Chains A and B, each alone.
Chain A
Amino acid sequence: MGVFVFLPLVLPLTAWPIARLAEQHLHPRTATRLVTAVAGVMALCSTLCLALLMVVGTAQLPGNPLPDGWSDPEVRAAVPFDEVAGRAAIPALLAVFVACGRLAWRHRTVRRAAHRALTARPGTPVVVLPDEEPYAYALPGGRGRIVASTGLLAHLRPAERRALFAHERAHLAAGHHRFLLVVQLAARANPFLRPLRTAVVYTAERWADEDAARAVGSRRTVARAIGRAALVSRPSPSPTFAALASPGPVPRRVAALLRPAPVAHRWPPARTAVGLAAWGAAVGTAVSAMSSANSAVTMVLILRAATPL
């Protein structure tokens, strides 16, 4: 096997161009689903790979509670630098679990706190709060609620307000928070997956934009709503790397809405750049999954041979 055992850890690098192409060329719905699935599988594979490295590399070290049989010499021969890799895998694995646990816990507490803040309001799906700070959020959980501040709504025309609520309803209806949670967990499981998180955050917004445009019947209205809302919202606090900055997600969303609606292909043709990217994603994910599965199956076989059950 050689260095191939490390493949699931670095294969996410291949997903960067894929995420970029999917974000630009695919329908936002397809792109969100595809990139989320790729990120999820790659994160699982990379975590599994870390766990196996840890078992194989450290089972025979003195003081380790794992049975020595779990680390067969032949298996260790297949892993380059098995002891170093094994020892390095322990803190890495711990870091992954801690980061993922903290994220899930934060999601839960913030969501519950936000719902609690609204308990005194009547049980309508849309809650408008008198607040000067402009904000609008979709709160998943239960039937889902939409909360918007008067500070934001005051700057929008009636049609644009409808567009805003349609956007947030689209978030709730399609369960976008699940996609976002998956990619955020994935980005914590393997930092190489961070560009995929950024891509899905963007495509999920685009998805909601497109749904909102269909609901209110005008792409321009949604574009104007986003543009105005962005201009009254707080500017970014740290204008760093101004020369390198490419247009942020908000102008790209507005520009995309001013172009014709994207077409939803079932599966892009293989000869185009998008098709190549999609096939590349599929193959890369498959290789990563197979590599992990291979290691896992080998481990199970060795365990069965080593421990007389």
Chain B
Amino acid sequence: MGLWISTMGRSGTGPRRRLGCGYGIGYGIGIGIRCCGYGIGIRYGCGCGCGCGREERGMVRERHDGSASRRRRGQGELEGLVLAALRSADGPVNAGWVQERLGADLAYTTVVTILTRLLAKGAVTRQRAGRSFVWEPAADEAGLAALRMRKVLDGESDREAVLASFVTALGPDDEQLIRALLNEATDEPEG
């Protein structure tokens, strides 16, 4: 099934990005089976090594640790938790510290996965200390949310078709016209 998923996926975005998880396997045929959700399909489909994508894999592994009955964490919730833990530290800390700090049933590898994911987003920085890395926050939670929102918006080529924007793109002569209208709106007293 793993092979099946990776051949069904959208081409051009890289074989490991955005295939299953949250986006539905059947992009090509329009069937909305969720990959990392429920049923046998998960175990085989993701097997945590399917084309599930770097992003979800940490969460899936965490799920497969025997916490299948628990509510699935929203994408990004863990990232926020890890980032908050990092920010509460006095200085650079290692992944083990973060794991202890979170206290939850998170695997060490999960923490490292999330930290790596945050690193790719530019939300944390790391330095080598001995045989491992120490991590430091670069962006706060708001900055992380901004990065994630940007990803959503940039991923949608025709975002105005889906989201109502405050202003739409301007035509060639619109800029001049708006400047004239703004002068008019500013010059006269408030009406």
Q: Which of B30, B141, B166 has its CB near the most chain A CB atoms (within 10 A)?
A: B166
Contact B172 A147 (CB under 8 A): no
Nearest residue, chain B, Cβ from A247: B177
Docked pose: A118 CA to B146 CA in angstroms: 8
| B175 is an interface residue with CB less than 8 A from chain A | yes
Contacts of A245 in B (CB 8 A): 171-173
Q: Mark A97-118, 1 if CB is under 8 A from B, else 0.
A: 0100111011101111110111
A255-B24 Cα distance, complex, nearest whole Å: 44
Bound: A205/B76 CA distance, A: 32
Chain B residues whose C-beta falls within 8 Å of the C-beta of A89 in the assembled complex = none
Judging by beta carbons under 8 Å apart, are A118 and B174 in contact? Answer: no
Cα of A112 to Cα of B34 in the assembled complex, Å: 14
Q: Is B178 an interface position by the 8 A CB rule? A: yes
B1 CB–A CB distance under 8 Å: no
Given A117-B151, A119-B80, A249-B168: A106 touches B190 (CB 8 Å cut-off): no
| A 155-201 contacts with B by CB, 8 A | 164, 167-168, 171, 176-177, 180, 184, 201
Task: Please give the distance in Å from A1's CB to the nearest CB on chain B.
Answer: 35
Contact A184 B79 (CB under 8 A): no
Q: How far is the CB of A134 from chain B (nearest CB, A)?
A: 9
Give Cα distance in the complex from A239 to B179, angstroms.
Answer: 18
Interface 1/0s, chain B 158-174, versus A by CB < 8 A?
01111111111111111
Residues of A within 8 A of B83 (CB): 120
Interface residues on A, range: 35 or more
How many residues belonging to B are interface residues under a CB distance threshold of 8 Å?
Answer: 54
CB B26 to nearest CB in A, in angstroms, measures 10
A121-B166 Cα distance, complex, nearest whole Å: 22
- Please name all residues of chain B whose beta carbon is closer than 8 Å to the beta carbon of A233 when the two chains form the complex: 167, 169-170
**Majority secondary structure of chain B interface residues (helix, strand, loop or mixed):** helix
Name the prevailing secondary structure of the A interface residues.
Answer: helix
A298, chain B: closest CB distance, angstroms? 32
Question: Does B39 make an interface contact (CB < 8 A)?
Answer: no
Interface residues of B in 35-69 (CB under 8 A from A): none
Do B76 and A116 have beta carbons less than 8 Å apart? yes
Would you call B142 and A251 a contact (CB within 8 A)? no
Interface residues of A in 197-237 (CB under 8 A from B): 201, 204-205, 218-221, 223-224, 226-231, 233-237
Is A126 positioned at the interface, with any CB of B under 8 Å from its CB?
no
B-chain residues with CB within 8 Å of residue A180 when the two chains form the complex = 164
Q: Find A131's partner among B150, B163, B168 (CB 8 Å cutoff).
A: B150
Pairwise interchain contact B142-A129, C-beta atoms closer than 8 A: yes
Contact yes or no, A254 B178, CB < 8 A: yes
Q: Distance in Å from the Cβ of A162 to the closest Cβ of chain B? A: 13
The 10 closest A-B pairs by CB, nearest first: A120-B80, A117-B148, A129-B146, A248-B171, A136-B166, A236-B169, A239-B172, A251-B177, A131-B146, A230-B167
Residues of A within 8 A of B (CB): 98, 101-103, 105-107, 109-114, 116-121, 127-131, 133, 135-139, 147-149, 152, 164, 167-168, 171, 176-177, 180, 184, 201, 204-205, 218-221, 223-224, 226-231, 233-237, 239, 242, 245, 247-251, 254-255, 258
The 22 sampled A-B contact pairs (Cβ below 8 Å) are: A105-B24, A106-B161, A109-B23, A112-B22, A114-B149, A117-B151, A119-B75, A130-B143, A133-B150, A135-B165, A180-B164, A205-B164, A220-B188, A221-B190, A224-B182, A227-B182, A227-B185, A231-B175, A239-B171, A248-B174, A250-B168, A258-B185
B→A interface (CB under 8 Å): 22-24, 30, 32, 74-77, 79-80, 83, 141-146, 148-153, 155-156, 159-175, 177-179, 181-182, 184-186, 188, 190-191
| Given A101-B30, A120-B145; 5 other pairs, CB 8 A cutoff | A130-B142, A131-B149, A204-B164, A219-B191, A258-B185
